[in-house]
Amino acid sequence: MSLLISASIIQITLLIATPLFIGALGGLFCERVGVVNVGLDGIMLAGAFTAAVVSYYSQSALLGVLAAVLAGALLGVLHAFICVGLKTDHVVSGVAINILASSTTVFLLQLFFGNKGQSPSCPKIGVLGTGMAHIPLLGPLLQNMSYLTLAGLVLVIISHLFLYHTKMGLRLRAVGENPYAAQSLGVPVVKYMYGGVILGCALAGLAGAFLSVGMLNVFTKNMTAGRGFIALAAMIFGRWTPFGSLLASLFFGYVMAWQINAQGWQVPAQLVEAIPYLATLLVLAFVSRRARGPAHTGKIYIAGRH
């Protein structure tokens, strides 16, 4: 039983799942307003780099996190302008952002630190601490939980309440389902599309910050390692809902935690490393046929058309 579940596996699962469910929330807000964002991985990478650089120079991990959110939001403005303003293909824009982030972070690593591989060590966001140890059952888990993980869980709850229990959330979802119907009811569709994309990309920046100043205390070249795409898979597996995305991310986090434990077994290392990606492919193969996202996601919106 300990091979499948243990305190250490649960802790690692939550640690690994944190950037996934925050990133999935980011993708969710983009798609809920009808904009596909395959650039999540690049935005997370940009967020991770920005957090590490600002944290290093300011000696404040919190400032690093805020800078990462801002960097994500700025890339959101770019993505929204390309997709909504210029009415360009959403996937092309997302791929371009991934390429831009991958190449630019390597260049800036060399520029700032004279090293194309990784940054120097930087301040790290803390954990809840031993004050939580007295809580029955959950104590050991909570005392090692990052403040960013706690913030991410709170964001899941807030996102659910916003999307399903507020007028603005209803309008946002309506834009992703049928922007022309929303337009006929007086909803400022373009503003909602920009807002949803910028918010989603800001969350992706936060997810990236967790990698460099929450999970580690350093930025390394291409450190997202495809986590943005796994976050997209979690969003689809979770049926474009905050709590569904959280549960799906925990599943993928568990698979990756189990993968770490499996490294001590007599199994080829290449097979062990492929486990999370194989799990992602299997989940998408079985779920994607029945999964139904917002009806207008990925389609070009032309204001004034009925």
Per-residue pLDDT of the chain (306 residues; tens, 9 = 90+): 455 677 778 888 999 999 999 999 999 999 999 999 999 999 999 999 999 999 999 999 999 999 999 999 999 999 999 999 999 999 999 999 999 999 999 999 999 999 888 999 999 999 887 666 566 666 667 778 899 999 999 999 999 999 999 999 999 999 999 999 999 999 999 999 999 999 999 999 999 999 999 999 999 999 999 999 999 999 999 999 999 999 999 999 998 887 776 666 666 666 667 777 787 788 777 776 777 889 999 999 988 666
Q: Which two tokens stand for residue 21?
A: 């469910």
- Residue (of 168, 33, 9) closest to 90 by Cα position: 33
pLDDT the model gives residue 264 = 62
Could you tell me the pTM of the whole model? 0.93
For 30, 201, 253, the CA distances from 23, given in Å and listed in that order, are 11, 8, 13
Using CA atoms, how far apart are residues 168 and 282, in angstroms rounded to an integer? Answer: 35
Q: Which two tokens stand for residue 50?
A: 């920005």
DSSP β-bridge partners for residue 220: 118
Other Cβ atoms less than 10 A from the Cβ of 48: the count is: 35
The full set of domain ranges for the chain reads: 18-125+148-237
